[in-house]
Structure 1
Amino acid sequence: MPIPQFTLSQRFFFDAAHTLRREIESDASRRIHGHTYHAEVAVRGPLDPATGMVIDLGLLRERLRAVRVQLDHHLLDEVPGLGIPTLENLCLFISRALSDLRPQPSRVRVWRDALGDECLLELAAA
């Protein structure tokens, strides 16, 4: 019988400003402007018989709080390690900040409800 795999996820949000150099909507994008971002991190793995958990959700929440502090109410252009403040780079930034978790994140999603934009980063199993 195959070992059951569970996926657990936790969400958080942050408000941040940024600029973006691009060809379309260039005037508005180049000015400092802000968004409310939502993020979700999922981990996938087997149940640990000793704890009854894949991961302690309290630990995951604690780690996400630390990531949120780096992003919330900041100018994303100035966040060390983020790079160009795109949804794609936000997904990468969050996944890298949690790369030492066990199990590692299997999926990171960042979206902006007000605009209907979303990015999903699916990570290969370690």
Structure 2
Amino acid sequence: MQLTISQRFYFDAAHTLQREIETASSRRIHGHTYHAEVSVTGPRDPVNGMVLDLGFLRQRLSMVREQLDHHLLDEVPGLGTPTLENLCAFIAAQLGDVRPSVSKVRVWRDALGDACTIDAF
């Protein structure tokens, strides 16, 4: 039996974005509150009954959050262009050694209704 656990976190960050639409507001430094949810899917450990200790997942997510929260995303090493897609990929990459493996990462901005999800990578 496979079970999925998840943990959410948020971060506030600024960025710029070069794009062909909504150019004036995107090119200026501006910020958002981002929300992220990371899911891990796997079997229950027969000894402790957990897929993964949520305390361990929270600890790892805290390390990821520290790299993003109150930073200019344009300057975060390894992120690339600060899009929702790249934020999903960045968070997933930072958790690449978690076992069982991360099965889903979702990043969204409530204020704008935007979201991106990476499933089963």
TM range (shorter): over 0.9
Q: Distance in 1 between matches of 2:92 and 2:117?
A: 11
3-state SS of the aligned residue for 2:111?
coil
The two structures have a TM-score, normalised by structure 2, of 0.99
Task: Give the deviation of 1:123 after TM superposition.
Answer: 2.1
Task: Give the deviation of 1:28 after TM superposition.
Answer: 0.4
The two structures have a TM-score, normalised by structure 1, of 0.95
Q: Which residue of 2 aligns with 1:83?
A: 80
Pair 1:56 & 2:53 matched: yes
5+ unaligned residues in a row in structure 2: which ranges? none
| Residue-pair matches, total | 121
Q: Which residue of 2 aligns with 1:101?
A: 98
Q: For 1:30-63, what per-residue CA distance to the aligned partner results, in whole angstroms no more than 9, with x for missing partners?
A: 0000000000000000011012100000000000
Moved over 4 A (4+): none
Pair 1:114 & 2:104 matched: no
Q: Distance in 1 between matches of 2:70 and 2:26?
A: 18
Q: Which residue of 2 aligns with 1:21?
A: 18
Q: Distance in 2 between matches of 1:10 and 1:64?
A: 8
Pair 1:70 & 2:67 matched: yes
Structure 1 residue identity aligned to 2:89: L
Structure 1 residue identity aligned to 2:64: V
Between the two proteins, what is the percent identity of the paired residues? 71
5+ unaligned residues in a row in structure 1: which ranges? none
State the Cα RMSD in Å.
Answer: 0.5
Q: Which residue of 1 aligns with 2:29?
A: 32
Q: Distance in 2 between matches of 1:123 and 1:28?
A: 34
Pair 1:12 & 2:35 matched: no
Pair 1:45 & 2:49 matched: no
Q: For 1:42-99, what per-residue CA distance to the aligned partner results, in whole angstroms no more than 9, with x for missing partners?
A: 0000011012100000000000000000000000000000000000000000000000
